[in-house]
Structure 1
């Protein structure tokens, strides 16, 4: 349970104690697999950047030729040179942009697949600590921000950065004293960019959180649309969404305001520097050794610096968005996975289950959910758990496949503590039918033969469907077992969904079976038919059945009455009735209600 506490304290992005530079270099580590594309992209940007000072040098040559009167000699060379510069710049742009896009998309693909791989290995406690919409936002919105920080940011840093280096190098070659004056502006621009960086990252984190809130509200409203309509929740949900969207809009506008002030401020600093530069350049003592072409080329190169410097400062906002998103992504990727220290393997369990002074408490809860549970379930026998809602019945069943780890005592199967089994070994021996049936957006066949059962033959799938009393309605569908069920089986009725889930459990043929209100969504006729199928399925299997209707578990070998996390009575149906205690009271109440 310590794992869940760790998870819950690590979820907030701002608690990750690393710098933005470290995070970005970690992000760039995902570029390694695309190093060839990156190299081609860099070559393209080098070609592009080299053409900027080449244009300035070409301008110098044109001015010098015109001033010296040697036009006829260069009449063909100059146009061809101009054409060559722009062809080379176009090739450089294509190589740089296309291969950088390939790098960025490969990085995002790797990030998303790594995140999903992590997702399926996280403990169940994590999924209870974060809303679904927030988790989806990490997989979609956050990774999209990373694309910008790699594609746009690296493209601008490489292309415009190399352009600045090339132009400055050319200016120093032309007149190093004037160039040093221009370099004085760099620290001032650095201060502006540094302040903007902190502001951008803070606002980007707010935008991510606000975006998570938007997806949370939308996800809940979509899933619960029927409840929203029936209980008149439309206005309430509209207000919730409006509030979340307003927060997102407010943060976005603050980001744009910071960016909009950052760019003109940098431009103004550059303009002041250009004015001072021209004033000095016009001094005879400084420009006396420069030809008209040198003078024009130098000022042109200085003027051309404005655009790349402006773009370099503009990319800062994109870069900070990517860094803020990377915080969220790497925080998620660094979460501890489901602990599995088990070493014991077993091909197939016999199914003897023992609860020995077992207690359990959910992380963050003040009271224990289960207290001092002592129970023995022999192999092949059926244990029925009954009691009020919230008494701990489902929790007791969920501890068997180790969705959570127990605090005190132990649960053992065939004499081995469940923590000592490998998780894959343990869970491969357990079949589960939940009260809230989970179906995936695929065909009926894919949902019955799911996961490790996917290679099962069609004949076995049909046999399982027949045993679950599902074959009759499946045959009536247009595509039979190849019929799509929709998201979470939305195209099927509740009873049909539950029969598909039962067929899945039948097909798995595991030695331990957990039935959590497995017939709750069925009509009386279907319930009788499925109960007969379940009775056949439970033969020679250790079964834990959680039931609300006591009529479905009267034949159980052991019935345990759970109340406030404790087993207050256990025995057979007849023994518990003879006790005239809590079970007898529940039994009499249900049957008197049925008679009424």
Structure 2
């Protein structure tokens, strides 16, 4: 329970703590109103059963002394009217309590989800290479939802219901101390034993549910992402079975949670009913006053109506918190990781000027878990306006080299410097200077315009820059043919347009931001030769204005570069103009038919 409370406090921002204090205050008010309701029921039952006798109210005394000369009928009517007004007010307070506490808890959950997602986006690129996206999606969405449902709200409800139960127990103890002591003597050990049996199983069930959420989400992602190949190969059954197995295990964890949560309620209700029946039997056997017994039993009846549900809810919330701790652990761990590794940037970041030279000094890089370096001792100097071609066999380290220059990957050894400054000293500013066209193009399920001006709000999109990027990427004819033009939807991952068109949209996106350094990582690989020639001709007009890195398998793509570097086994083995490099390395010479 203490762990759940600590997790809850860490979720609450400074500006939200006032709201949570209001939630707690309303919970305290509700608890006192419930205790007052119990007293009113006690008074009313005493009047009905013994109209002429004294009315001893717990904690107050004889009520008739406060209203001397008032007849029993008048007193009953007055108390009934007061109770009617009071219970209406009580109902309003309880509705307000439910509204405010759920609004506050859900609002906190939304803030935590947004904070997690922002943190994931800001995490180093290497983090995303080592973690499956299904885990991050689960934590930012499902785990936060469970944290709200099974930790944040239960903590509030537990405090609220505990106060109600405590207040009711005080009333019961004053009115009937011996039965109350007997009830506590029986119920307290019972609750303790039941919780000791149930809660460890609930914790394991929560951990299993979190694991199966991730596995199921991963199965859906992989099955839908690869649906084209899966359908051709006829492997739908494999992915269906994989998802079905995970979903079955999740259902098992959930029904175990539901069933175990009911065990304490049934145990407590059964025990209390047995106590009431036993009390009635003892009263009859000892020939005690039936009227006094009815009053006490009425009090216990109301207690069964209010205390028992309250006690059940306290135990239920304890069980919910135990189940939800697994989700809370994941969320808190990621928030701690983000806090340690991500430095927030305030305001807009200005691009880092590139005026002198870009230097790679003895750069090494090794992927996590790998036994050998992907890059080893790379030395490279590039001046503004140069056009650099990067070639080499598959797996030689070309893309890794580009990612290191972009700052997506931090060198294991060595450094990347712009005008003498390490790019990682102001990485955001350096990346605002660059544009990249990847081999695997990422497209939003949105319009062409929003894919070109990626991540920019409608009222901030510069239409002139969009048009210039469209022209430079040779997209003008394609856009002109579309009925909706730049407002045409491209579909999920760009499924409504061809591979070549997707590549050109990526080029237009890179050019929209007017970067001073452009990276083409197989950026023309999906274009036909005629379109590639047009794009290369357009890029030629940028030479001298922008520094261009081109990673390519097609030798025609790098022929016009100022320099070509040959990468092999993570090292730059040679560099120079294409013609001189081709003379020294046979693999760079055009194949002779």
Task: Provide TM-score, normalisation by structure 1.
Answer: 0.87
Among 538, 560, 573, the residue aligned to 1:555: 560
Contact preservation (8 Å) 1:351, 1:380: no
Contact preservation (8 Å) 2:435, 2:510: yes
Paired with 1:211 and 1:339, the residues of 2 have a C-alpha distance of: 26
Deviation at 1:80, TM superposition (A): 3.0
Paired with 1:315 and 1:188, the residues of 2 have a C-alpha distance of: 17
Paired with 1:538 and 1:277, the residues of 2 have a C-alpha distance of: 96
Local SS of the residue matching 2:362? strand
1:256 aligned residue: 258
Alignment partner of 1:169 is 2:170: yes
Alignment partner of 1:408 is 2:413: yes
Among 513, 533, 540, the residue aligned to 2:538: 533
Contact preservation (8 Å) 2:45, 2:295: no
Deviation at 1:435, TM superposition (A): 0.8
1:446 aligned residue: 450
Paired with 1:384 and 1:537, the residues of 2 have a C-alpha distance of: 15
Deviation at 1:499, TM superposition (A): 1.1
2:335 aligned residue: 333
Deviation at 1:217, TM superposition (A): 0.4
Contact preservation (8 Å) 1:399, 1:406: yes
Alignment of 1:68-217 (within 5 A): 72-73=73-74, 76-77=77-78, 79-81=80-82, 83-149=84-150, 153-154=154-155, 156-184=157-185, 185-217=187-219
Deviation at 1:339, TM superposition (A): 6.0
Contact preservation (8 Å) 1:55, 1:85: no
2:67 aligned residue: none
Paired with 2:80 and 2:343, the residues of 1 have a C-alpha distance of: 71
Say which is worse superposed, 327-336 or 179-188, in terms of deviation. Answer: 179-188
1:433 aligned residue: 437
Deviation at 1:258, TM superposition (A): 2.5
Contact preservation (8 Å) 1:355, 1:376: yes
Contact preservation (8 Å) 1:65, 1:71: yes
Say which is worse superposed, 330-339 or 148-157, in terms of deviation. Answer: 148-157
Deviation at 1:324, TM superposition (A): 2.2
- Shift of the 177–491 alpha-carbon distance from structure 1 to 2, 3 Å rule, reads same
Local SS of the residue matching 2:111? helix
Local SS of the residue matching 2:130? coil
- Shift of the 56–361 alpha-carbon distance from structure 1 to 2, 3 Å rule, reads same
Local SS of the residue matching 2:436? strand
Deviation at 1:449, TM superposition (A): 2.2
Contact preservation (8 Å) 2:5, 2:155: no
Local SS of the residue matching 1:436? coil
Q: Which runs of 5+ in 1 are unaligned?
A: 1-17
- Shift of the 240–182 alpha-carbon distance from structure 1 to 2, 3 Å rule, reads same
Among 19, 30, 41, the residue aligned to 1:34: 19
Among 337, 358, 377, the residue aligned to 1:353: 358
Paired with 1:412 and 1:490, the residues of 2 have a C-alpha distance of: 39
Deviation at 1:538, TM superposition (A): 3.6
Deviation at 1:110, TM superposition (A): 1.3
2:62 aligned residue: none
Say which is worse superposed, 195-204 or 73-82, in terms of deviation. Answer: 73-82
Deviation at 1:241, TM superposition (A): 0.9
Contact preservation (8 Å) 1:514, 1:545: yes
Among 33, 49, 68, the residue aligned to 1:63: 49
Alignment partner of 1:577 is 2:561: no
Paired with 1:320 and 1:490, the residues of 2 have a C-alpha distance of: 44
Local SS of the residue matching 1:334? helix
Contact preservation (8 Å) 2:465, 2:512: yes
- Shift of the 347–385 alpha-carbon distance from structure 1 to 2, 3 Å rule, reads closer
Among 15, 19, 23, the residue aligned to 2:7: 23
Among 497, 503, 528, the residue aligned to 2:502: 497
Local SS of the residue matching 1:335? helix
Deviation at 1:394, TM superposition (A): 0.3
Say which is worse superposed, 460-469 or 143-152, in terms of deviation. Answer: 143-152
Deviation at 1:278, TM superposition (A): 4.9
Paired with 2:432 and 2:9, the residues of 1 have a C-alpha distance of: 41
Deviation at 1:309, TM superposition (A): 1.8
Paired with 1:290 and 1:135, the residues of 2 have a C-alpha distance of: 64
Among 381, 402, 409, the residue aligned to 2:386: 381
Say which is worse superposed, 366-375 or 300-309, in terms of deviation. Answer: 300-309
Contact preservation (8 Å) 1:443, 1:482: yes
2:64 aligned residue: none
Local SS of the residue matching 1:254? helix
Q: C-alpha offsets along residues 496-530 of structure 1, whole Å, 9 cap, x if unaligned? A: 12111111222222221111011111122221211
Local SS of the residue matching 1:514? strand
Paired with 2:423 and 2:12, the residues of 1 have a C-alpha distance of: 41
Q: C-alpha offsets along residues 51-98 of structure 1, whole Å, 9 cap, x if unaligned? A: 244324322332222999x77445644653553354234223211211
Say which is worse superposed, 476-485 or 402-411, in terms of deviation. Answer: 476-485
Paired with 1:289 and 1:264, the residues of 2 have a C-alpha distance of: 29
Among 469, 479, 488, the residue aligned to 2:484: 479
Q: C-alpha offsets along residues 247-290 of structure 1, whole Å, 9 cap, x if unaligned? A: 212222332343343333333443454455556666869x7799
Alignment of 1:292-331 (within 5 A): 294-304=295-305, 305-331=307-333
- Shift of the 438–51 alpha-carbon distance from structure 1 to 2, 3 Å rule, reads same
Paired with 1:430 and 1:260, the residues of 2 have a C-alpha distance of: 58
Contact preservation (8 Å) 2:130, 2:368: no
Q: C-alpha offsets along residues 131-169 of structure 1, whole Å, 9 cap, x if unaligned? A: 222221112211221232357524642453233223211
Paired with 2:566 and 2:389, the residues of 1 have a C-alpha distance of: 8
Paired with 2:258 and 2:106, the residues of 1 have a C-alpha distance of: 26
Deviation at 1:368, TM superposition (A): 0.6
Q: C-alpha offsets along residues 312-339 of structure 1, whole Å, 9 cap, x if unaligned? A: 2223332223332211111111114656
Alignment partner of 1:457 is 2:443: no
Aligned Cα root-mean-square deviation (Å):
3.1
Contact preservation (8 Å) 1:453, 1:508: no
Deviation at 1:547, TM superposition (A): 0.2
Contact preservation (8 Å) 2:361, 2:380: yes
Contact preservation (8 Å) 1:60, 1:297: no
- Shift of the 412–159 alpha-carbon distance from structure 1 to 2, 3 Å rule, reads closer
